[in-house]
């Protein structure tokens, strides 16, 4: 997991790979002359069972004497895994590497840090536990509905709250968002295929994103990585009008573009301003509420616990991006991120794209917006 940006962003979090020493418990019973099964053979059996959707073979990798809750969790995991079309699913000592069907063969695999504990019984090795706090994915929580279209894979949790038809509806909304961004000229920067996961269960969102706190006001998140992942809080988003859902997905897709051109650490206000501006179909700088803005938003404002502060930050970021586009051309905002992606600082990028210091840009925007 990489950096996370979100439409209503209270917290940017970098998923921390939690490393816990794998516990290998040696059996006290005598083993045959061949010795216990090598741990690599266990991973190979488990990986093959997932790829073959072989329930018996998968559960045969789980310690038969493991506590019932762990075995039940493994059953849920298998149900989830077997509902997802994997091109690659490979367990190893440090985690899981995976790639979904439909993505170009040269797409890098995604790596989820994960440590299983293993145990040897009568010469056979089993998965006996999982280090707490390890990365989870939507498939840890049970069966999923998957919709593969030309340019996206949409995976939706099939919890009881999911209404019939939601997976195909969300797939259509993603396609609509992609079409709007292609029309806005971002086509060459969009990934060939988008990966979107949605769940209405906020506890699962928190575990997947490895963030704490109240997620009820988050619409969606973009996680950077070899394959950028858009995670949708469907407890919120599924209830919005389709037009607003399309804006939400377009916003996240622009984050995918933003991270792609600027690397993993562009200034937050540029990332959010660009996403809002494109998602709302590149509006001209509108009249500002009185009193007008006095400064560009700081990164901290996007993290504020105050809804008013956060909304102001998004509004000013979008307004400033619109102003830049009006004065320097509609490609100027994206160009700013591209220059940063080439290694320039934010100040150097303003010199290159605005043609002067960032403070000069800020003053011009404040004057125009007041």
Give contact residues for Zn ion (rule: CB under 5 A).
Answer: 5, 7, 272, 275
CA–CA dist 34, 36 (Å, integer): 7
CB count within 10 Å of CB 281 equals 12
Q: What share of the chain is helix, strand, coil (3-state, %, to 5)?
A: 45, 15, 40
If one counts every other C-beta atom within 10 angstroms of the C-beta of residue 102, the result is: 18
Smallest distance, Zn ion to C-beta of residue 209, A = 14
Q: Which residues of 216-244 are buried (b: 16+ CB within 10 A; e: fewer)?
A: eebbbbbbbbebbbbbbbbbbbbeeeeee
The token duo for 71 is 């075995």
Tokens of 319: 């307004």
Pick the closer one to Zn ion by CB: 208 or 275: 275
Work out how close the CB of 221 gets to Zn ion at its nearest, in angstroms, rounded to a whole number.
Answer: 8
Q: How far is the CB of 272 from Zn ion (least distance, A)?
A: 5
Coil, strand, or helix at residue 251?
helix
CB 247 within 8 A of CB 132: no
Query: Nearer Cβ to Zn ion, position 147 or 230?
Result: 230
Closest of 243, 274, 276 to residue 257, by C-alpha: 274
- Min dist CB 11 to Zn ion, Å, is 12
Q: How far is CA 235 from CA 85, 168, 350, in A?
A: 25, 17, 39
Closer by beta carbon to Zn ion, 12 or else 121: 12
Q: Which is nearer to Zn ion, 130 or 248 (CB)?
A: 248
Closest to Zn ion by CB, 167 vs 273, is 273
Which residues are CB-contacts of 362 (< 8 A; sequence separation ≥ 6)? 295, 296, 320
226 alpha-carbon distance from chain centroid: 11
**354: which residues sit within 8 A by CB, 6+ positions away?**
324, 327, 328, 332, 336, 360, 361
- How many whole angstroms separate alpha carbon 184 and alpha carbon 280? 10
**Min separation Cβ 207 and Zn ion, Å:** 21
CB of 222: closest distance to Zn ion in angstroms? 7
Distance CA 256, CA 5 (A): 9
**Angstrom distance (rounded) from CA 237 to CA 220:** 8
Closest CB to Zn ion: residue number: 7
What's the closest the beta carbon of residue 250 comes to Zn ion, in angstroms? 11
Beta carbon nearer to Zn ion, 63 or 276: 276
CB 258, min distance to Zn ion, A: 9
The residue (of 254 and 339) whose beta carbon lies closer to Zn ion is: 254
β-strands 220-223, 152-157 pairing? unpaired
Query: In terms of CB distance, is 7 or 46 closer to Zn ion?
Result: 7
In the complex with Zn ion, the residue whose CB is nearer, 147 or 275, is 275
Nearer to Zn ion, 5 or 162 (CB): 5
Nearest to 367 by CA among 327, 333, 336: 327
CB of 266 to Zn ion, least distance (A): 12
CB of 7 to Zn ion, least distance (A): 4
């Amino acid at each position: 997991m990489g950096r996370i940006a979100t439409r209503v962003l209270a917290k940017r979090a970098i998923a921390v790979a939690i490393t816990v020493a794998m516990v290998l418990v040696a059996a006290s019973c005598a083993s045959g002359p061949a010795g216990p099964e090598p741990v690599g053979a266990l991973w190979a059996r488990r990986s093959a069972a997932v790829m073959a959707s072989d329930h018996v073979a998968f559960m045969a990798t789980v310690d038969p004497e493991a506590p019932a809750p762990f075995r039940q969790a493994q059953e849920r995991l298998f149900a989830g895994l077997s509902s997802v079309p994997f091109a690659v699913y490979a367990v190893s000592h440090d985690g899981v590497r995976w790639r979904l069907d439909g993505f170009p063969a040269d797409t890098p695999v995604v790596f989820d840090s994960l440590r299983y504990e293993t145990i040897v019984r009568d010469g056979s090795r089993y998965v006996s536990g999982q280090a707490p706090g390890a990365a989870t994915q939507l498939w840890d929580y049970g069966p999923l509905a998957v919709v593969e279209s030309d340019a996206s894979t949409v995976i939706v949790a099939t919890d009881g709250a999911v209404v019939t038809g939601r997976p195909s509806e969300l797939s259509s909304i993603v396609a609509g968002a992609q079409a709007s961004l292609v029309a806005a000229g971002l086509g060459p920067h969009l990934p060939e295929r988008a990966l979107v996961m949605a769940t209405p269960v906020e506890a699962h969102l928190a575990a997947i994103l490895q963030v704490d706190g109240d997620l009820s006001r988050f619409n969606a998140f973009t996680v950077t990585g070899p394959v950028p992942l858009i995670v949708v809080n469907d407890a919120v988003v599924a209830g919005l009008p389709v037009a607003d859902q399309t804006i939400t997905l377009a916003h996240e897709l622009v984050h995918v573009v933003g991270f792609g051109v600027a690397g993993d650490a562009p200034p937050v206000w540029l990332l959010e301003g660009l996403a809002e501006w494109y998602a709302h179909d590149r509006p001209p700088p509108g009249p500002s509420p009185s009193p007008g803005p006095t400064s560009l938003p700081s990164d901290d404002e996007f993290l504020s616990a105050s809804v008013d502060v956060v909304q102001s930050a998004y509004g000013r970021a979008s307004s400033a991006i619109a102003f830049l586009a009006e004065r320097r051309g509609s490609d100027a905002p994206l160009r700013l991120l591209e220059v940063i992606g080439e290694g320039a600082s934010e100040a150097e990028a303003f010199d290159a794209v605005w043609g002067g210091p960032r403070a000069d840009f800020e003053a011009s925007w404040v004057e125009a917006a007041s």
